[in-house]
Homo-oligomer: A and B are copies of this chain.
């Protein structure tokens, strides 16, 4: 990087408004919990953008990092600022930034791709071989400012509300899953209606699903699934559920499975409900190996099973923008809580209580 500070020019352009320190929710060291601290504002390189964060979504992953579970212990290297779902306004841009300007209202893709591997070079950077995730592998967005490459910036249509824009990351998971599976005029089973599974319901409806069956073990989530447009909702433990799904789908089984739970039992149950020649999109991440009847559930059926990761960069983002600005997807019922950054502890309590669906952190009131 150059010796002339990349931040200086934008700062001038903005009237020297950038402070030297900021608030940030930090995983300080190995162990449970997060701390709200005063830390230096991130420096940016020539192709980076500094975003003044306005709203940020809490992801289940953030809860795992708080808890310092086994996965976090293996992946996260403190100290690191947490948070990867966010929106805000551009506060500064690097010297070589060409298409983003200070003041732009933006969200950002949280997967930082290397730009050089086979996947990045063939339009599939969402599965980059050397991906780094914001708020996990590098400093994230539960802070007044976050630095991201220009490449990851998504300029927001004015019609997208701040709180919705803050959760474009998980909405993108839902859209990527639905669109890759392909649901137009099809019967669809969704296993797991956490926040992404719930988002998948209006998305799949908008994308043309003819019949939507949602399965989970949480009655409140199932009730919300129904409100959001599921035709039928079932407790996964209902006896004879596979037969019920077959009966609801003309005796053939569902055309499509959207697996959003990561539960081995749900994956097997879901696959058993798909018809011959159907498609199953797996988004939920099992924490352990899953014992699978490949012969019966995949091979004889001639199934297509699709591993889904992240969001297509940036096809999924265009799809989100199209669906949201056309008024085809309403996220209001899913964003159940908005909590100021200072009350982050309450927000994480809520998350763990299972009472909330999607919690948005209000970092700053706005005003670019």
Chain A residues near B (Cβ < 8 Å):
1-4, 46-47, 95-96, 98-99, 115-119, 121-124, 126-129, 175, 179, 182-187, 206-208, 210-211, 231, 250, 252, 267, 275-277, 282-283, 285-287, 289-295, 298-309, 312-315, 317-319, 322-323, 325-326, 328
Kindly identify which residue among B287, B299, B318 contacts A282, using a CB–CB cutoff of 8 Å: B299
Going nearest first, the 10 A-B pairs with the smallest beta carbon separation are A123-B123, A210-B322, A185-B319, A298-B307, A207-B208, A208-B208, A127-B302, A305-B305, A210-B326, A127-B276
* B47 and A96 contact, CB distance less than 8 A: yes
Q: How far is the CA of A1 from the CA of B47 in the complex (A)?
A: 12
Interface of A is mostly: loop
Residues of B contacting A283 in the complex (Cβ-Cβ under 8 angstroms): 299
Q: What are 14 inter-chain pairs, A to B, with CB distance below 8 A?
A: A1-B95, A46-B46, A98-B115, A99-B115, A184-B207, A185-B322, A208-B208, A231-B326, A282-B294, A282-B299, A291-B291, A299-B308, A300-B309, A305-B306
Residues of B contacting A301 in the complex (Cβ-Cβ under 8 angstroms): 127, 307, 309
* A305 and B295 contact, CB distance less than 8 A: no
This protein's copies in its complex: 4
Q: How far is the CA of A116 from the CA of B151 in the complex (A)?
A: 9
Q: Find the residue from A127, A183, A283 having the highest chain B CB count within 10 A.
A: A127
Q: How far is the CA of A314 from the CA of B52 in the complex (A)?
A: 35
- Beyond contacts A124-B276, A129-B276, A301-B307: 18 other A-B pairs, Cβ-Cβ < 8 A, are A99-B116, A118-B276, A118-B318, A123-B124, A124-B277, A207-B207, A207-B208, A208-B328, A231-B326, A283-B299, A285-B294, A285-B299, A286-B294, A286-B295, A290-B294, A291-B292, A299-B307, A300-B309
* B3 and A122 contact, CB distance less than 8 A: no
* A307 and B318 contact, CB distance less than 8 A: no
Q: Give chain B nearest CB distance to A323 CB in angstroms.
A: 5
Residues of B contacting A282 in the complex (Cβ-Cβ under 8 angstroms): 294, 298-299
Residues of B contacting A287 in the complex (Cβ-Cβ under 8 angstroms): 295
* A211 and B326 contact, CB distance less than 8 A: yes
Q: How far is the CA of A266 from the CA of B278 in the complex (A)?
A: 25
